[in-house]
Amino acid sequence: MKLVEVSYEVGNKVGGIHTVLASKAHLMSKRFSPYLLVGFYSPQKSPREFEESDAVPEEIGRVSDVLTKDGVVLHYGRWLVPGKPPAVLLELKDIWGQINEIKYKYWEWFKIDSLESDAWFDEPILWSYAVGMFLKEYLGDSKDTVALFHEWLSGGALLYLKKHAPQVPTIFHTHATMLGRVLANAGYDLYDLIDRRWADPTALAYKHHIQAKHLTERASAQNATVFTTVSEVTAREAAFILGRQPDLVLPNGLDMSVIPSIEDLSYKHIVNKRRINEFVRAYFGPYYPVDLDNTLYFYFSGRYDIRVKGIDVLLPALARLNERMKELGCKKNVVFFLFVARDGYQVNPEVLRNLDVYATIQDHLDEFMPQLRDRILSDLVRGNVPDGSVFDEGFRYELRRLMLTFRQPRDALPPISTHVPAPDDYIANRLRELGLTNKPDDKVKVIYYPAYVRPGDGLLAMNYYDVITGMQLGVFPSYYEPWGYTPLEAAAYRVPAITTDVAGFGRFILSQYGEFARRSGISVLARRGVSDDRFVEDLADAMYWVVSLPRRERLERKIEAVYMAKNADWAKLIDAYVRAAELALHNSS
């Protein structure tokens, strides 16, 4: 079976769809032949993950010549993800001069109102128009190649084919509706709206000034040969907002074959927790000691979407957990990392200074260790028990000097953030309002990390997956989450996770395990129909449950998480894409 898969994120990482496509590409190559990906060429990002080829297939070269005349540059090569599938990336050049004419065409063809659109609409619609031209030329009169389009950003290409090559079988796959995400962030009770249908979706799109994107998405869903989505949650949402019930649900997955074994993950946990320990010791040590032997590491990772990602309920739940652990005299501590990347934030100079002095102390110890070893051995072979004399006065003096340099003023508190937040930063301000300011007696301490974790960042200096393998719990209390890769990734990497029953992945786990999943390696908390205040208490309860588990039971939950995550292995899920393509061929015949 032949397939062309189109996404703005092929060779152009923007969000979670990049993970979907990259993680399944090699399996798609095995199920479809030929298999070709089509994406957007970004001069800044694409060269890092796309290897252009000088050997361009004759058919693609012919189409490239046609597109060049219209101001579009075609790049052919291999996408540097597992399997290295062939890909075509389209770069927008002189075609920008046709933007108003192209937008008018979509109004004329499908009544897409883009009079108030901005660059966030203009670039995708221009690119997808160019993709439509490419596919029309590339596929010709073919009726046996299915074209699969992800999200509204590629919808313009589907609509172009509908107008100019209607014989091509098409699939429109939505990962989330534009309007659903906007309404969730705006504080609407989205699920009540879907159930009772008390407003017109298009009117709401105009009210929130996203009509161009919404109308493109709606037209794509209604004009596709087959319409699909990622989860039961999004299927109900799409039926209401886009006016068409999806034909199939195609769940997202991970390629479990590339994830280390449980034994390797156990080793990685030890190594990476030790590295996190060093960071935490340097972060808090200048102010007061932290008992790392009784400290658990929890984390959240996601976009700065306060309502959608559940940050608005997570922070008060952490405050409630802190209160409870104090009230009950809990011996353990929780250090909670908030990995929420923001643009333009500078690293906190105080944090850098503390890390730098700590590194100097480490270097000084490392330099002295060979001498110390020799002195201890020398005493032992003489039959003497080593005492404090093995440390010479010069070494002691330098340690005292470094220790005094390391210490911050007596009343100072550790920063709540690795970076300097903007004055209006919700997370930093809310943490202060809730009293989560890293006081010595706080049982829950927070590190707000508003940057992407990466080696060489001067802070944790680790990649994301190494960081999470050093953790004991991932917490993802989303209000709107069509799928949810972060809890799946956590569980796959042997980290218990908390998600919700309004997240696609949460619903998927409930369908597999039922009520067992309410307290397990992947805990699915009830969020639908639950007030925020009630959910805050439930989330604090769920986190305290993990805190209170004996070490042996925490280890059992880790193993449980891995086995539960394996239900979302692409090897089990990829055939759903085959069924969608077969249905598209059948419906178009």
Question: Would the pLDDT of 379 be above 70?
Answer: no
Q: HSE-up of 270 (CA within 13 Å, CB side)?
A: 5
CB 517 within 8 A of CB 524: yes
Same fold, 2-178+214-255+572-588 and 256-347+415-568: yes
| Each residue's pLDDT tens digit, 293-343 | 999 999 999 999 999 999 999 999 999 999 999 999 999 999 999 999 999
Question: 126 is written with which tokens?
Answer: 């221009």
Question: 575 is written with which tokens?
Answer: 């055939």
Residue 432 buriedness (CB in 10 A; 0-12 / 13-18 / 19+): exposed
Q: Is the pTM of this model over 0.85?
A: yes
Beta bridge partner(s), residue 497:
474, 522
**What are the residue ranges spanned by the domains of the chain?**
2-178+214-255+572-588, 256-347+415-568, 349-412
CA distance 237 to 246: 10
For the beta sheet containing 522-525, the strands, ordered from the edge strand earlier in sequence to the opposite edge, are 444-449, 333-339, 295-301, 473-475, 497-500, 522-525
CA distance 27 to 47: 24
Give the mean pLDDT of 380-398: 70
Give the mean pLDDT of 532-554: 97
2-178+214-255+572-588: CATH topology: Rossmann fold (3.40.50)
Mean pLDDT of the chain: 93
For the beta sheet containing 50-52, the strands, ordered from the edge strand earlier in sequence to the opposite edge, are 50-52, 72-79, 86-92, 35-40, 2-6, 145-150, 170-174, 226-229, 248-249
Give the mean pLDDT of 196-207: 95
CA distance 329 to 358: 31
Residue in 483, 362, 348, 469 with CA at minimum distance from that of residue 16: 483
Give the H or E element holding residue 89.
strand 86-92
Q: Please confirm whether the linkage preceding 34 is cis (ω < 30° from 0).
A: yes
Residue in 111, 453, 198 with CA at minimum distance from that of residue 302: 453
Question: How does strand 2-6 pair with strand 35-40?
Answer: parallel
| Each residue's pLDDT tens digit, 369-378 | 787 777 677 7
256-347+415-568: CATH class:
alpha beta
